[in-house]
Amino acid sequence: MIRSFDEIRSLVLSRPGTRRLGVIGSHETHALEAAAKAMQDGIVVPILFGKKEETIEKWEALHTGLPVPEIVDCNTDEEIAERAIRAAHDGKVDCLLKGKIYTAVFLRAVLNKEWGLRTGRQLSHVLLMQVPAYHKMLFLSDAGMVPYPDLNTKKDLIANASDVCHALGYEQPKVAVLASVERLNPKMPETVDAHALKEMYENNEITGCIVEGPISFDLAVSEESASIKEYDSPVAGDADVLIVPEITTGNVLFKALSYFAQMTMGGIIVGASVPISMISRASSGTDKYNSILVAAAVASARK
């Protein structure tokens, strides 16, 4: 059970080897701030892909006292994306951090058939949330990448989120497939999918985790609510992973927790051949640092 990003940091530092972080679009202050802190803490060795002069200027403005890392000088978003993704494809970097680059350009490079990072699995976003009111980390998917996942895509979302949990030491993460009610209702598609996913789990078509659904948010995170409603499940009140029906639900959920519940977060794209740190453009350097921690943990687990 992971309770905080500090525990993830300790886990990464306990693992041997060097983790090389490619910063895609390094001429961005928060990305550089996060990469510099991760470098200082011994989490990663950054390799910067971006506009060289602007990157150096911003790095030196951080006043870290750290030497400027290797910079691969690029002029356009397309060049930045291709050179960084090729480096990951060729095994020259172990994880990536999205900096100042258009998401569409970056994702096109990731999905390039010749030198991209395809694995055959759906790319998805996993957001780790440290919420003071909850007793451990929550893993949310998908709140940032897949708008309207169908049943098979949700199966991949579960597999991807479970892989992140496994990289952090979980053996059987508890997955809550969320809906507004906890019973199958043919008129509510999210309950139909959730019921089908639980059946897949019971038939050993989904492994490496425990799946419950449909289940409402309160039952997933509150033992008291589960007791009052007499809802019996190993996931009730103790969920690790929250699978949302579509992106709007996930987006509202994590932003509400962020603004009203003092949540800290970090997020990565999974389903590619290397983990990719990606968080909202409005996110702080701390959120991006947390995202690097998660990507480094996943990368180190694969070595």
> What angle (nearest 5°) sits at the alpha carbon of residue 38, between those of residues 57 and 255?
95
Residue 258's SS3 state is helix
C-alpha separations of 116 from 23, 51, 109, 142, 161 in Å: 16, 22, 6, 22, 21
pLDDT of residue 151: 97
> pTM here?
0.95
Burial of 16 (0-12, 13-18, 19+ CB in 10 A): exposed
State how far the Cα of 131 lies from the Cα of 94, in Å rounded to an integer.
29
So what's the pLDDT on residue 281? Answer: 64
- Tell me the pLDDT of the chain (303 aa) as tens digits: 899 999 999 999 999 988 999 999 999 999 999 999 999 999 999 999 999 999 999 999 999 999 999 999 999 999 999 999 999 999 999 999 999 999 999 999 999 999 999 998 899 999 999 999 999 999 999 998 999 999 999 999 999 999 999 999 999 999 999 999 999 999 999 999 999 999 999 999 999 999 999 999 999 999 999 999 999 999 999 999 999 999 999 999 999 999 999 999 999 999 999 999 988 766 678 899 999 999 999 999 986
> Which class for 60: exposed (0-12), middle (13-18), buried (19 or more C-beta within 10 A)?
exposed
**In the block, which residue shows the tokens 């519940």?**
261
Q: What is the pLDDT of residue 174?
A: 98
Q: What is the pLDDT of residue 285?
A: 80
Rounded-to-integer distance, Cα 278 and Cα 126, Å: 9
User: Encoding tokens for residue 152?
Assistant: 């098979």
Structural domains in the chain?
1-118+272-303 (3.40.50.10950), 122-268 (3.40.718.10)
Cβ neighbors of 107 (< 8 A, separation 6 or more) are 123
Task: Break the chain down into helix, strand, coil percent, rounded to 5.
Answer: 40, 15, 40
Q: What is the DSSP letter of 234?
A: S
Taking the C-alpha atoms of residue 46 and residue 59, their distance in angstroms, rounded to an integer, is 12
Q: Give the pLDDT confidence score for residue 282 in this predicted structure.
A: 63
